[in-house]
Structure 1
Amino acid sequence: MESNHRHHKRIDLLDYLRGFALMGIILVNIGPLLEINEPAPADSLDFSYWRFLYLFVEGRFYTMFTFLFGVGFYIFLTRANAKGKNGYILFLRRMASLFVIGLVHVKFHPGEALALYAVCGLIILPFYKANKLMNLVFGTLMLIAFAIFSIKIFMVVPLMLLGIAAGQYRVFEKTKTKKIAVFTGVMLALSAAGLIVQAQYAPVQLGVATEATYLQEQHFISIGIAIGPIVSAFYAGLLLLLMQRRFFQKLFSPLKSYGRMALTNYVSQTILILLAGNAFDLFSQISYLQTLNLCVAIYVIQFMFSSVWLRYFRYGPLEWVWRIVTYWDIPPMRK
C-alpha cells in the first residue's frame, strides 16, 4: 500500500509542477501571439511589468516544462517496460504523434515547443539506458555551456537529459524535505546573485533606435536566458517544499488538474489567446499590462474546465488522443 501511495504522490508533484510551468509559459507567449507593442514611457506600469517579465518569467518556466518532459519520458519508458511492453516502439509512436500535433500548432503559434520536444525526445532516447551519474554530469555541463552563450533552443536537450537523471535518481519518489530545503536554499542564493547582475543591465527605455540601448536590451535578455535554469530550479524547489504541507496541497489543488491536462491546456492557451485577439481586435493594440488581465481570464477558464473535466473523465481530450495513437488502443474515457 505504501509504494502505491508514493507512486500517486510522485505523479501529483509532477502535475503540480507542470501546471505551475504552464502558468508562466502563457505570460511570455501571449506577447508575440498578439503582436504586442513595446512599452513606453519608461516610468509607466507597463514598462515595469515588461521588466518584471524578463527578470522573473521569461526563460524560467519553459525550462521547468522541458525538464519535466524528460522526467515524464523516463517514467513512461520505465512503466511500459515493466508491463512487458516494448517501451521504445510506444515511445516512437508517442513522439511521432506529438510531432504532428506540434506541426498543426506551429501554424498558429510560431514559437511553439511540441515539435521541437518530439525531435529532442528522439535525440535523448539513447540516454535512457545510460548511467545516471553520467546523465547528470553530462546534462549539467552541456546546460552550462549553452547557457553561457544564451542559446535557448540548444538548452532543450540538456534540460531533458537532467529530467531523465531526476527520474533515474527517483527524485520525485523519495522527496526528502531536508534535501529539498538545502537545494532550494542554494538555488535561491544563486538566483539572487544572477538576478542582481541581470537587473544592472535592465534598459531604462525601449524601442530607442540607438545601438547602445539595443545592445543593452539584448544583453539584459541574454543574461536572463543564461540564468533561467537556476531561477526555475529555485521555483521548482520552493513549490516542492510547500507541497510537503497538507495546507498547500489543498490550496494549490487546481494546479494539479491543470498540470494533468498539460498538453490540452498548452494548445488551448493558443486557441483562447487567438480567439480573444480576433474577437476584441487586440492585435498590435494591447499593452503588456493588459495581456496580464487576459492571462488571468484564461487561467480562470482553464482551471475551471480542467477541474470539471477530470471529475468525469480519466484524461484530457488531447491526452486521450495521444494515448490512442501511442498504444493503438482506445482507453475508456469516462471515469
Structure 2
Amino acid sequence: MTTTETAPLAPTGRRSRIVALDVVRGFALCGILLVNLPPMFDLGVDGQAMSFYRFYEDAVQNRFFPIFSFLFGIGFGLMWLSASERSPRPRLALLRRFAFLAVIGGLHQLLQPGEALLPYAIAGIVVLLPSTWISQRWLNMITGILGAILLITAIFSGGGMVIIPGLFLLGFATGGSGLIRRALDHPGLLAFLGSLTAAISVAGFLVTDYETRQINQWINAGLGIAMAFTYVVILVLLLRTPAEAVLRPVLSPLGRMALSNYVGATLLIVAVRAVVPDLSRFDSHGGYLAGLIISIGILTVQVIVSTLWLRFFGQGPLEKLWRFVTWGRSDRTARTVA
C-alpha cells in the first residue's frame, strides 16, 4: 500500500449496522418523494392549490434534502473508517463509488432534471475525497469546522444545492468520529438539541410570513436546516418508544435500499404520469391531494417490495452493483454501518 492511499486504521471484524440511520434515511426518502412529485406533474400554484403549495414549501421543501445529504456524509465517514480493510487502494475505490453515482445521476437527470445524485457525486469527488488526506489527528475537527462554515455560508446565500458540501463534511466528521453512536446513546442530549431547533423553527414562523420567507431565501434555508434536525430528533426519540415496532419495519427497508428506491420512485412517477398526465382534474386542490395519494401508494409498494427483496437478497439491486463497482470481489465487509 502506498503512503498516499493509507486509510485510517479501523477495528477488525464486521461492523454492525446502525438501524436508526436506516430508519432516518427511509424517512428522508418519504419526504423527498413528496417534494419531487409536484414538479414532475407540473402542478400549479394558483387558486385552491396555493394552500397545499404553501404547506409543501413550509413543511417539506428543503426539509428532507438536508437530512439525506447529512446522512450521505455520515455514511462516507463510517465507510472511511474501514476503507483500508476493504481495498488496498481505498481512495481509488471511493473514486469509483462516486463515478458510479455520477453515471446513475446523469441518467436520472434525463427523467428528473435537477435531481441530487449527480451533484452528490461531484461534491463527493471535490470535497469528501480530498478531505481524506487531512491528518487523522485533525481530520474530524477540520472537516467539522469547515463543514459548519460552508453550511452557514450556503444558508446565507439562499440554500439549495449549495448546502451539500457543508452537510457532507459535517456528516463525515460525525460518522468518522463515532459521534453518531454516542449521540444515539444520549437521548436526553438529543432531546435538548431538538428542543432548541424546534424553538428556532417556531420563532422563525412567528416573526415572518410566507412572502417574507420566499423573498428572503436565507430565512427559508435556515428554517429548513432547523426543521430537518428537529424532524430527525423526533424520529430517533420515537424509536425508543413502542412506536419503534411500526417505524422500524416500515422505514428501515426503505433506507437500506435508498438508492434503488430513490431511482425507482422516479420510474414509478414517470409511469403514472404516462397514464394520468393531469392530476388537477381529480381534486379541487390543483392535483396536490391526488399527488399525495399517489406518493403514499408508491411508498407502500416500495416498503413491501424492499422488505421482501431484503429477506432474500440482503441488499438492493443498485446497492449491490454500487458495492461491487466500489470494492470489487475483494470486499470482505459486505454488511457495514454505511
Using structure 1 for the length normalisation, give the TM-score: 0.85
Distance across 1 between alignment mates of 2:37 and 2:216:
20
Check the 8 A contact 1:39/1:288 in 2, yes or no. no
Distance across 1 between alignment mates of 2:216 and 2:305:
37
Check the 8 A contact 1:13/1:172 in 2, yes or no. no
- 1:303 corresponds in structure 2 to 303
Structure 2 residue 324 is matched with structure 1 residue 324? yes
Report the secondary structure of 2:181's partner residue.
coil
- 1:127 corresponds in structure 2 to 131
2:151 to 143, 147, 170: 143
Distance across 1 between alignment mates of 2:80 and 2:153:
28
1:222 is displaced (CA, Å) by 5.3
Report the secondary structure of 1:36's partner residue.
coil
Structure 2 residue 175 is matched with structure 1 residue 179? no
- 2:245 corresponds in structure 1 to 250
Distance across 1 between alignment mates of 2:151 and 2:104:
27
Report the secondary structure of 2:210's partner residue.
coil
Distance across 1 between alignment mates of 2:287 and 2:86:
51
Structure 2 residue 78 is matched with structure 1 residue 78? no
- 1:154 corresponds in structure 2 to 162
Specify the code of the residue in structure 1 equivalent to 2:247: F
> Number of residue pairs matched?
311
| Cα shift readout 1:6-32 (whole Å, capped 9, x = no counterpart) | 953x52111111101000001111111
| 1:201/1:222 CA distance change after superposition, 3 Å | farther
- 1:36 corresponds in structure 2 to 43
Distance across 2 between alignment mates of 1:277 and 1:83:
42
| 1:47/1:283 CA distance change after superposition, 3 Å | closer
| 1:96/1:218 CA distance change after superposition, 3 Å | same
1:243 is displaced (CA, Å) by 1.7
Specify the code of the residue in structure 1 equivalent to 2:160: K
Report the secondary structure of 1:252's partner residue.
helix
- 2:65 corresponds in structure 1 to 62
1:136 is displaced (CA, Å) by 1.9
Check the 8 A contact 1:34/1:277 in 2, yes or no. yes
| Cα shift readout 1:237-281 (whole Å, capped 9, x = no counterpart) | 111222233x23221121000000000000011101110010123
1:96 is displaced (CA, Å) by 0.5
Using structure 2 for the length normalisation, give the TM-score: 0.85
Distance across 1 between alignment mates of 2:314 and 2:331:
9
Check the 8 A contact 1:147/1:227 in 2, yes or no. no
> Where do residues 86-97 of structure 1 align in structure 2 (5 Å cutoff)?
86-97=89-100
Single out whichever of 286-295 and 273-282 deviates more from structure 2: 286-295
1:217 is displaced (CA, Å) by 7.6
1:134 is displaced (CA, Å) by 2.4
2:29 to 22, 36, 40: 22
Single out whichever of 163-172 and 92-101 deviates more from structure 2: 163-172
Distance across 1 between alignment mates of 2:142 and 2:65:
24
Report the secondary structure of 1:38's partner residue.
coil
Distance across 1 between alignment mates of 2:96 and 2:23:
26
Distance across 2 between alignment mates of 1:106 and 1:84:
31
Query: Structure 1: which 4+ aligned runs deviate by more than 6 Å?
Result: none
Check the 8 A contact 1:78/1:87 in 2, yes or no. no
1:196 to 193, 199, 206: 206
- 2:110 corresponds in structure 1 to 107
Check the 8 A contact 1:102/1:114 in 2, yes or no. yes
| 1:267/1:243 CA distance change after superposition, 3 Å | same
| Cα shift readout 1:94-120 (whole Å, capped 9, x = no counterpart) | 001110011111001102111110110
Check the 8 A contact 1:58/1:224 in 2, yes or no. no
Structure 2 residue 238 is matched with structure 1 residue 235? no
Check the 8 A contact 1:324/1:330 in 2, yes or no. no
CA RMSD of aligned residues (A): 2.6
1:52 to 55, 65, 84: 55
Structure 2 unmatched ranges of 5 or more = 1-10
| 1:165/1:115 CA distance change after superposition, 3 Å | same
- 1:262 corresponds in structure 2 to 258
- What is the percentage of aligned positions where both structures have the same residue? 33
1:169 is displaced (CA, Å) by 3.1
1:330 is displaced (CA, Å) by 9.4
